[in-house]
Chain A
Amino acid sequence: MTQFTRSRGDLIPILQKVQEVEGFLSPEAVAEISRFLDISENDIYSVASFYAQFRFTRPGEHTIKVCLGTACHVRGGERILDSMERELKIKTGQVTDDFKFGLERVACVGCCALAPVVVLDEDVYGKLEPVKVKDVLALYKKRS
């Protein structure tokens, strides 16, 4: 916290830093930030819940981001997302019971030439087809 000032303008950078380190915003972390900035927890939740970046639950070990930018949409991104949901038996925004995979949709990762695109952790899968989804997931199921 020492790198931040106790001003309201630093609230969002603080939330970002906490999430970067801890993976999500826990109730304990929010309480701590509330004391540091002298802003109520309610107020902090009001701000944090407004922004898509912030999560309040533990993320999956692997995060799958299915791009649904416009280029991916017209090239079949929804079909990829449907296949992911079917294979993982979860809905978008959820995490599998074993916390192995979290599934998210994102609006444009910016490599439209490769559409449809999935970003799995740091790896990019371009021109993906629904039939290949199972094989891609299998690569990560083995990894611990």
Chain B
Amino acid sequence: MTFEQIQRNAIAEWEALGKSKKPRIYVGTATCGRLSGALKVLDQIKAELEQRNIDAEVIEVGCIGCCYAEPLVDIVKPGHPRICYSNVTPEIIPRLIEDYIINDNPRSDLALGTIGDGSIDGIPKLFELPMLKPQVRIALRNCGYIDPENSNHYIANGGYSGLVRALKMTPEEVIEEIGRSGLRGRGGAGFPTATKWQACRDAPGSEKYLICNADEGDPGAFMNRSLLEGDPHSVLEGMLIGAYAIGATQGYIYVRAEYPLAVARLRTALKQAEDYGFLGDNILGSGLSFCIEIEEGAGAFVCGEETAMIRSLEGRRGWPYPRPPFPTTSGLWGKPTTINNVETWGDVSAILQKTGEWFAGYGTENSKGAKTFALAGKVIRTGLIEVPMGITLRQIVYDIGGGIPDGKDFKAVQTGGPSGGCLPTSILDLPVDYERLTAAGSMMGSGGMIVTDSDTCMVDLAKYFLSFTQAESCGECVMCREGAMQMLEILTDITEGRGKPEDIDLLLELGEAIKLGSLCALGGSAPNPVLTTIKYFREEYEAHIKEKRCPARACKNLISFYIIPEKCEGCLICLRKCPVNAIMGGKRMIHVIDQGKCDKCGICLDVCPTKFDAVIKVSGEQLETPEEPIPIGSWKKA
């Protein structure tokens, strides 16, 4: 079959689905949806349809990114717009099917928004919602929209037309097109993609490799997983275009073993692409031959670093090696190798399907296009977002994320994962692009974005990230191996009340030394969370060191729990729930916490009924309480 025939068939299938007289039900079953119970919802839908003898199409799709509203179910009735329902449970399915599919009540109370033409009273348009309106969907263009296991859905929506267009150009022209788009690596460092490709193309040798970096290891980041699960073909198409441009014959996708669904969907997509002749020998009659293998990573964060990844693919310890020579001249098995991130490949296919100029129409002067972020932490609407470069952090946190839950105050946003930094309120109006984030002390990184509020201790957060990078340090460079351990010890001392006044300067000195003395980006950026928190939240470090006080009341060794004698009603709830029997009391007796026994789990605070609100967490102060339980009402302060 020619590509035109394949495309015609795919469009016919897609249009038939749109014109179908049957109702269609889309269920978001990416990992995030599944973890929220989407598969139980799916089973319930199938059972309900069968029981009521309703002929409907049930289609599994990826994630549109509204994680806070998962599981998501979309229903389309012929002649009506697609309605997206949020927080769907199996229990609600029978009512929803009866009310909307059988009787014409669209249940606007359960709906999040409508998608496509037309409108329904009482339901806003989904893409007009504050969460979605500022977003631009380039890499995520199909996620949540098409069935990722049906290649015809992808092809009918422009899929593989980018490859076909590229094959009609010369490899140099393809690289020029990427150059015009201004695309820079989405894995975090932001190296210009066209420059990397050109170097690999120019490198001598006929055997060249191409790698898709899907070893998304940052804690709190799931952009790549979502793209692989929601639209695997867009990544494969990008790789094929790259292979043609640089002259590679073999590609690898190095994907985290912790992403089983992404691996399964990739395998399905690879098989489909082979069947259509998009992979293998003489692709679409162009003379291009290219194969892709999937390699599952074995759980080493450092393997996200390109030279460590190459070692790992060669069956060795994932130890980075010095550059130059860069992988573009000497990479896998010593051959020229191009490594790009999942999102970069997804952008590449979009650019070739449209044009480089179109992509460059988004973004800032030096950072073009859009970037995906995993927005999480203390924010109302957590989710996966794709925003144009240049958007401000404030727009992301407040417009898209909806602000901070429980009426608390914003404290900082952490970007770039363990390699990035914590940015305070004063930086909220910073436009997001590669240079500006770096200048502020953080970095773009792969796209983890964690919002923190007044309950988050910045010293503890810095310690958290450093303990992660310290544990993941491969141990090759002395500064990273030993220096990070020393920094972690100092931070541990500070958070446990043993900090010394000179510690802050020592941390700064060590941090700068580790950045200089490490071979790879892991060590080179590991001190960033510590350095930025000292830069922007130095007073929190000083409170820990000088006053032995944790202002956020988060560091276990610096906090105490007390039962307020005036408020305790002697209900026994906390006493029964305390796992270490540290609470003394009796019915109608004022309860007292034995501070020596208390292991500060905070369960008493969690379980004390809101109407009493008698448990308090303090840091740096003591509360006067009875020595032992006394009857309620008999308490008098000394």
Contact = CB atoms under 8 A, between A and B. Distances in A.
B35 A108 contact: no
B220 A13 contact: no
B298 A16 contact: yes
Interface in B212-248: 217-222, 225
B31 interface: yes
A79 B601 contact: yes
A114 interface: yes
A79 B603 CA distance: 9
A40 interface: no
A102 interface: no
A52 B222 contact: no
B319 to A, nearest CB: 8
A51 B299 contact: yes
Contacts of B218: 108
A107 B468 contact: yes
Given A74-B378, A111-B31, A124-B35, A11 B607 contact: no
Contact of A16 (B296, B450, B579): B296
Interface majority SS (helix, strand, loop, mixed), chain A:
helix
Contact of A108 (B221, B316, B607): B221
Contact of A74 (B67, B225, B300, B452): B452
A8 B313 CA distance: 9
A114 B36 contact: yes
Contacts of A9: 313-315
Nearest to A87: B579
B470 interface: no
Interface string A79-93: 100110011000000
B488 interface: no
A39 B451 CA distance: 47
B219 A111 contact: no
A124 B68 CA distance: 16
B577 interface: yes
Contacts of B468: 107
A1 interface: no
A18 interface: no
Interface in B293-314: 295-296, 298-301, 312-314
A17 B343 CA distance: 29
A131 B315 contact: no
A112 to B, nearest CB: 3
Contacts of B313: 9
A79 B601 CA distance: 6
A75 interface: yes
B298 A53 contact: yes
Contact of B377 (A53, A87, A112): A112
A10 interface: yes
B383 interface: yes
A70, A87, A109 — most chain B CB neighbours (10 Å): A70
A68 interface: yes
A31 interface: no
A29 interface: no
A68 B36 CA distance: 18
Contacts of B67: 111-113
A47, A54, A113 — most chain B CB neighbours (10 Å): A113
Contacts of B452: 74
A112 B374 contact: yes
A86 B603 CA distance: 13
Given A16-B257, A71-B382, A8 B314 contact: yes
- A-B residue pairs, 7 tightest by C-beta: A70-B220, A112-B376, A51-B298, A52-B299, A11-B315, A69-B219, A113-B67
Interface of A: 7-13, 15-16, 46-47, 50-54, 68-71, 73-75, 79, 82-83, 86-87, 106-115, 117, 124, 126, 129-131, 134
30 contacts: A8-B314, A9-B313, A9-B314, A12-B296, A12-B315, A15-B298, A52-B299, A52-B300, A68-B219, A69-B220, A70-B376, A70-B450, A71-B376, A71-B377, A71-B450, A73-B219, A82-B599, A86-B580, A107-B468, A108-B220, A110-B32, A110-B259, A112-B382, A113-B32, A113-B67, A113-B68, A113-B70, A115-B377, A124-B35, A130-B601
